Amino acid sequence: MQNEHTKPTEATLADLIAQLVPPPVPEAISLWPQTALAKTMFTVLLVLVFFLSWKAYRHYRRNAYRRAALSALENAANDPGVIASILRRTALAVYPREQVAGLTGNHWLEFLNRQYSGTEFNGDLGEALLRGAYRSCPRNPRLTQAAKNWVRRHRSQIVPPRKSRPEGSEVPP
């Protein structure tokens, strides 16, 4: 017979933890939009991201000639002859050949200033640029900086290259 004063055996903490029932796992929450408005907004946002990426890519490709010219100017070692050649090639890459190729002297400097809307190629810098194209001149870091400014900030007018037509073909009216 058991004594009324004896206590039943006490459960330990480990026994109590073992008796716990694990909580139910909630359903996974979808990260995709659920409502029609949210789906529409997501689609519009996705289209906008693609459009802006496409525009940025076109801008990057369109300005490849600028990056090439700036890289060439870095390697020009402030030589006015090399700088004159780089500016001429850059202008020929952007503007129609008929508009650029025949420019010499002050007409060339006016063209550079007009496309840049600046006056950096007036005075000594312009003279150094013109002389450097035909004879050796002292190196001029200010001319390099002016050329870099022109390459970075001129108004571009890129014209698509002409497609060659086979001989005997006529131009459509």
Could you tell me the residue ranges of all domains in the chain?
A: 64-153
Put residue 168 in one of left, alpha, beta given phi > 0 → left and psi -120 to 50 → alpha. Answer: left
Contact (CB, 8 A) for 115 and 108: no
pLDDT, residue 171, reads 45
Nearest to 128 by CA among 78, 93, 66, 76: 78
Q: Report the greatest alpha carbon distance in the chain.
A: 126
Q: How far is CA 118 from the centre of its chain?
A: 24
How many CB atoms are located within 10 Å of the residue 50 CB?
A: 10
Mean pLDDT by groups of 10 residues along the chain of 173 residues = 60 86 89 91 96 96 92 90 91 89 88 82 85 81 90 74 53 44
The dihedral built from the CA positions of residue 84, 86, 89 and 95, taken in this order, carries a sign that is negative
Integer Cα distance of 11 and 136 in angstroms = 101
Provide the token pair at 121: 């190629």
Nearest by Cα to 92 from 140, 46, 161, 37: 161
